Structure 1
Amino acid sequence: MISDSKQAMQELEVELAALIGQKNLNTIKSGLTTLAIALCDQQDEELTLLAKKLSQQLGPDKALALGKLLISNND
Structure 2
Amino acid sequence: MDVREYSNGEVTILWKQQLCIHSGICVKTLPKVYNPKERPWIKPENASSKELIDQVAKCPSGALSIKE
TM-score w.r.t. the length of structure 1 is 0.29
**Which has the greater radius of gyration?**
1
Higher RCO (CA 8 Å, separation ≥ 6 residues): 2
Higher strand share: 2
